Structure 1
Amino acid sequence: MLGLMLLLVCPQRVFAQDEQGQGDEVQLNVANFGIGGLAREGEWAGVQVQMQDLGSSSRDIVLRLEIPDEDGDLTQYDRVVTANPGVVQSFWLYCWLPFRSAGSEYTLKAFEAIDQGGSDNPAEIGFRAGRMLGSYQVYNPQIQPANVGLLGVLGTYQLGLEQYGYTISANPWMLFAHELQRTSSGLTIDNLPDRWQGLRSLDTIVWSTATTASHDPGRLTPEKARALREWVQRGGHLVVVLQSSGDPWYLGSHPLRPLLPAVETPKRLEGVDLERYRTLITEDAETPLPSNAVVYSFTPAEDAAQHEAMPILKSQDGETVVVRRLLGSGMVTVVGLPLNHGQLRRVGAPDAEAFWHRVLGLRGDVKRLDQMSKQETSDVQRRSPLSFDEGISRAISKTGTAVQGVFFGVVVFV
């Protein structure tokens, strides 16, 4: 019995030593685990990997991310890349995160890619992993619970979306609503994934800045543009906010132009007093609003179908300032109000309930702790979740029963 245990344990120790000894040939790092550093349980996630090959010549490398599933089995997600020696390169890997994976550790590895050559068997065409060149341990990435929504923001400012993240005692729900929304802000063109799986965990992407190089839609590669389009068609919601400094969306050249609502060139209105749009921006009658702003209004194109240019929000004069296009199972919305205006940011506008509720189709009261009464503060602290399916997975997997049976068999027969 003791000899059998040594036989099983010793090779694992030697293998671990070999892995650590080979780890310097290719240096690995994880720049982002998830979109903007946020991922969600029970969902696809993109992992942005930085790799530097210290070898002397170009070669193909297999990047592999190992993820244990809910049954304890190890799943492997591979991508074959070509290394440029001495240069730090960035690549994306995509993996499915199991439920209850928060706090887990994952292993990223690099292997020498061995070309299997041509074959009559399709399963043998391509590359297989050879000698291991490096490894990197991913400790405790930010993985959100499955009942938390994720919003992505391409731009510097969150435009009031952070209000959907108000909670108390780090509870994964809103104070007076249901699904908490975590915002992944500060996204740029460079850290967008190149496949739709990397965007899958996001319910909405708000493109708030487009006039800087790091946010210019014209810099999108064909792969990243295709990923965004497929993400929308699969149910994603892309929200584009036009800026006062210019309109690169309708007047510029970029690969997302066919996704935008089918409208005539947006009408630019300068020197606008936003008082006429107060009810669309804030619920507070006393909040000071800019009196000299730029607003865009939209008119559907003559040949546009109804679903290609749907008015969402209109001013008191009947001007459409938010327009939408349905695309597959998702949608693309263009906002003509100056949500990036500095004065709006200083007063905490737009209000989530006044503006974003209507655009995103959300409900519930959005309040900060300093806006709640003593009774409301007491109520939210006593709130507790009620789970209806917590024990189902354990009942199916029979956790513990199989282990006891195997141990009993070892004792009896060995």
Structure 2
Amino acid sequence: MRQVIANLHTITGGARLLRFLAAALAVLLLPRMAAAQAVELEGLPSLELDLQAVGPGDASRAGDWTGLLVRVRDNTSDSREVILRVTFEDEDGDEVQYDRVISTTPARWEAYWIYARIPYWGRQIETIEVRAFDAVAAVAESDLGFRAGRLLQTASRPTTQVIAPWDDLVGVIGRRDLQLKQYGREREPGAAVAAMWHNLTFVASGLRVGDLPDRWLGLAPMSTLVWSEVTGEYDPSRLAGTDRAPAIREWVQRGGHLVVVWPSIGETWASAAANPLVDLLPSMRPPRALDGRSLEPYRELLTGRVSTPLPDSQTVHVFERDPGAPLNAAIEVLSGPDGECLAMRRIVGAGMVTVVGIDISVERMLRGSLPEVENFWNRVLGRRGEFFDDAEMLEEFGQGARSIGANRIQKALDGDLESAVQREGQTAGALLLGVVVFALYWVFAGPVGFYMLKRSDLQRHAWVVFVGAVAVFTAVSWTGAAILRPKRVDAEHIAIVEQVYGEEMQRGRMWASVLVPWYGEARFAIADGGDASVDSDGFRNALAPWEGFDTNREIAVFPDNRGYRVRTQTPGAFSAPVRATVKQFRADWAGAPRLGLPRPTGEVGDAEVDPIELTEGGRLTGLLRHDLPAPLTDVSVIWVTEQAPIARTRGRGTIAAVNGVSLPGGDRWEPGKILDLGSLTSEDAFRPAEINFGTELSAMRNYGVPLTTLAQPTNPGAFDNRLIASMFYYQIEPPRSNDTNASNAVRVATHAYDLSRWLTQPCVIVVGFLDTEDQLSPVPFSVDGEPVKSSGRTMVRWIYPLPSSPPRWSSVSVGDED
């Protein structure tokens, strides 16, 4: 009885303690409960979320990085940490969680950018969704310091503005599209095939400074960004004190093309105090304004029609390079009939900044549908092709105008990259071993074993033979699997590495299949070792899971799908699930030179470097050498002497005089060996017709593989040719409007690596292929802090700018359309 009473006293004391703790907890939580009830009474959720845009101007591309602009309003009384998350499935079916941790400000709308790579199948998804979670502190989560807690809110946006993987995107900061929309002329409204070009170009116009992302990843889908207005919300001084200016700078360094239309009024761009991008402009003297200038003398640069009215009084700015400027800092691209420079350029890393002296954004230009792309923009951007408006299409092709290109097929130049990096050898060996072992087991445990027992009249011992066969072949299988199982991380790659002479940086993109021989998790990073997301040179490198263009996401998944997190602001490193198999990645890297790409040199034993020069006959002189880890093969030297003369012509021809030669007989260029450009391009070696690269550009339109047959194997040589074609994409001969059998060449993976704009100025381009076996990857890559050895093929590209030579003005107007 005493024990029972003691137990009752214990229970009663415990109940009192519980009541006390509950009361204390209620007191502590009362303020938060009251605040939550107040929010509920106001009819507002604790957090509001608005997905404003998928990409700047709500434009993005499937298969590429993009930025999602999210607005957040916290309706609670205290600031708190919140995780913003965008998710996509990778090729294995695992959920890639692109996360950003933010600190909210109560009762105020704030905007944030989240960056993610949209997979190729992104257009098949009806909506893209952003979710907001309570951020719960978690020390173990080293990347972000928080894990996702309670779901607070979701917001979504349809994928209607996600363009096809083969199309291009141009941004315009200003209210007008400057006639760039002519590059987006479809075969007919809603058709996916371009009428006069190989692909469609979508123009995101009307962008304001506040619409620009704070990382270069948000600008990654854009080949060109045109800045056409400088007042109000378009004023570049609004970049000061924000991360938008560094984002634009890095995007240019990584190959972007910023075009600045010099305003008729105002000097905002030239103000070092107000404009944080002023150092990206060409090194030039203050632009000289020519007020009240008629644009008639510049007709052939603006239009191909003699009847189109041009403004008779407009301010034109002309540029003059600083006499002490380095070559890369000030290159004259276009000049007027009187020789005054109308467009000047600065090389910045792998990209360029071009300033234009004719203000093409004024209302009078817009009324005349000026400038026409084939006369003006082709020469600035390095494009090729002709444009027909509706009236011209009807006049030229009659009622058949709407059916132009209806039967065209799209041929991809780079759509089969996945097959080029697939690791099939080891898989085939393991599969062969399994088939052989099973066949031998079936033979010996079945008919052969029974036959031998029957001959010896020992059929009653068949079960012993069967068990023995099982034991033996199990041991053989385990031993074979142990021998064939990879012991270390290994990779296969296709890569592009590039450097412009005079720029102390290299950039590269690598597509890799990485074999990780264990189960669980691994840490992947763009780094030679360690875990650097931002390298020592300040570039924010980007690593993302990657899938083949034609991957069927419904069948290529694992049953044990898991999620893994990517820090969206610095996605150069993350941890992901591994299953002793291959995982595919795309790595975008930039940094200080790490490979010994070609460079000018002197004679053996001569310390002085000889520059590369053009002779009067349009040939080259100079010596080159490289210090790469292996010989370069399939080497070509391509050089541009000048743009084609300015005349009233259609734009089907190449934009410049382009020559090209290859090493004779498929010679290999060994490391340290001097390549004499004078001998390679001499008149004794090649006749003029043999070095005309324009002929090759015409043939490239047929190099692609139809999108419907990408899974079929092709020979490696053809793949190399297609990769070279993709690097001059906008100079490939466009399909003829009246050719019903023409095809459209497209690319889905090598955007941002087109060199066509280099054909607008004199330069030398050296391209070759580097084959490596079990060496450090051309783009720095590590797994769990250890550098990865890789085998594969790397396209090496080296560009040497030559002195300016703006196009001449022709005295004869050809092809007058009026």
- TM-score w.r.t. length of structure 1: 0.85
The 5-angstrom pairing of residues 8-407 of structure 1 reads 24-104=45-125, 105-116=127-138, 123=142, 126-169=145-188, 170-210=190-230, 212-220=231-239, 221-251=241-271, 253-372=274-393, 373-374=396-397, 377=401, 380-387=404-411, 389=415, 393=548, 400=555
Task: Say if 1:150 and 1:204, in contact at 8 Å, map to a contact too.
Answer: yes
Task: Kindly state the Cα deviation for residue 273 of structure 1 after the two structures are TM-superposed.
Answer: 1.0
Task: Kindly state the Cα deviation for residue 395 of structure 1 after the two structures are TM-superposed.
Answer: 8.4
Task: Say if 1:148 and 1:172, in contact at 8 Å, map to a contact too.
Answer: no
**Matched AA of 2:179:** G
What is the alpha-carbon distance in structure 2 between the residues aligned to residue 26 and residue 301 of structure 1? 55
What is the alpha-carbon distance in structure 1 between the residues aligned to residue 325 and residue 267 of structure 2? 21
What is the alpha-carbon distance in structure 2 between the residues aligned to residue 69 and residue 114 of structure 1? 26
**Matched AA of 2:166:** N
| % same residue | 36
Q: CA deviation digits over 1:358-402, x for unaligned, max 9?
A: 000000111223211226726624332234658975987696598
Aligned pairs, how many? Answer: 379
387-396 or 354-363: bigger deviation:
387-396
Task: Kindly state the Cα deviation for residue 24 of structure 1 after the two structures are TM-superposed.
Answer: 3.0
160-169 or 394-403: bigger deviation:
394-403
SS at match of 2:45: coil
What is the alpha-carbon distance in structure 2 between the residues aligned to residue 394 and residue 356 of structure 1? 31
Q: CA deviation digits over 1:211-241, x for unaligned, max 9?
A: x120111111431000000000011100000
- In structure 2, the CA distance between the partners of 1:296 and 1:403, relative to structure 1 (3 Å rule), is closer
Q: CA deviation digits over 1:31-70, x for unaligned, max 9?
A: 1111110110110010000111111111111111112334
**Matched AA of 2:397:** K
What is the alpha-carbon distance in structure 2 between the residues aligned to residue 317 and residue 347 of structure 1? 24
What is the alpha-carbon distance in structure 1 between the residues aligned to residue 371 and residue 333 of structure 2? 16
- In structure 2, the CA distance between the partners of 1:387 and 1:316, relative to structure 1 (3 Å rule), is closer
Task: Say if 2:183 and 2:197, in contact at 8 Å, map to a contact too.
Answer: no
Q: CA deviation digits over 1:234-287, x for unaligned, max 9?
A: 111000001112221114621101111111111111011111111111111111
SS at match of 1:349: coil
- In structure 2, the CA distance between the partners of 1:396 and 1:149, relative to structure 1 (3 Å rule), is closer
What is the alpha-carbon distance in structure 2 between the residues aligned to residue 28 and residue 162 of structure 1? 33
- In structure 2, the CA distance between the partners of 1:39 and 1:315, relative to structure 1 (3 Å rule), is same
Task: Kindly state the Cα deviation for residue 139 of structure 1 after the two structures are TM-superposed.
Answer: 3.2
SS at match of 2:283: coil
Task: Say if 1:116 and 1:124, in contact at 8 Å, map to a contact too.
Answer: no
SS at match of 2:84: strand
Q: CA deviation digits over 1:295-342, x for unaligned, max 9?
A: 000000122111111111100000001111111111100000021222
What is the alpha-carbon distance in structure 1 between the residues aligned to residue 283 and residue 556 of structure 2? 60
Task: Say if 2:284 and 2:322, in contact at 8 Å, map to a contact too.
Answer: yes
**Matched AA of 2:165:** A
What is the alpha-carbon distance in structure 2 between the residues aligned to residue 125 and residue 204 of structure 1? 33
- In structure 2, the CA distance between the partners of 1:398 and 1:272, relative to structure 1 (3 Å rule), is closer
CA RMSD of aligned residues (A): 2.5
Task: Say if 1:60 and 1:113, in contact at 8 Å, map to a contact too.
Answer: yes
SS at match of 1:81: strand
SS at match of 1:164: helix
- TM-score w.r.t. length of structure 2: 0.44
**Matched AA of 2:142:** A
Structure 2 stretches lacking a partner, 5+ long: 1-39, 420-547, 560-818
SS at match of 1:76: strand
What is the alpha-carbon distance in structure 2 between the residues aligned to residue 177 and residue 196 of structure 1? 28
- In structure 2, the CA distance between the partners of 1:208 and 1:398, relative to structure 1 (3 Å rule), is closer
172-181 or 394-403: bigger deviation:
394-403
**Matched AA of 1:250:** A
**Matched AA of 2:374:** E
281-290 or 23-32: bigger deviation:
23-32
Task: Kindly state the Cα deviation for residue 164 of structure 1 after the two structures are TM-superposed.
Answer: 0.9
Task: Say if 2:92 and 2:556, in contact at 8 Å, map to a contact too.
Answer: no
What is the alpha-carbon distance in structure 2 between the residues aligned to residue 111 and residue 242 of structure 1? 45
What is the alpha-carbon distance in structure 2 between the residues aligned to residue 96 and residue 55 of structure 1? 32
What is the alpha-carbon distance in structure 2 between the residues aligned to residue 131 and residue 398 of structure 1? 29
**Matched AA of 2:303:** T
**Matched AA of 1:377:** A
What is the alpha-carbon distance in structure 1 between the residues aligned to residue 312 and residue 182 of structure 2? 25
What is the alpha-carbon distance in structure 1 between the residues aligned to residue 248 and residue 557 of structure 2? 44
- In structure 2, the CA distance between the partners of 1:242 and 1:386, relative to structure 1 (3 Å rule), is closer
**Matched AA of 2:401:** T
- In structure 2, the CA distance between the partners of 1:274 and 1:40, relative to structure 1 (3 Å rule), is same
- In structure 2, the CA distance between the partners of 1:83 and 1:398, relative to structure 1 (3 Å rule), is closer
SS at match of 1:204: strand
- In structure 2, the CA distance between the partners of 1:34 and 1:70, relative to structure 1 (3 Å rule), is farther
- In structure 2, the CA distance between the partners of 1:198 and 1:314, relative to structure 1 (3 Å rule), is same
Structure 1 stretches lacking a partner, 5+ long: 1-20, 405-414
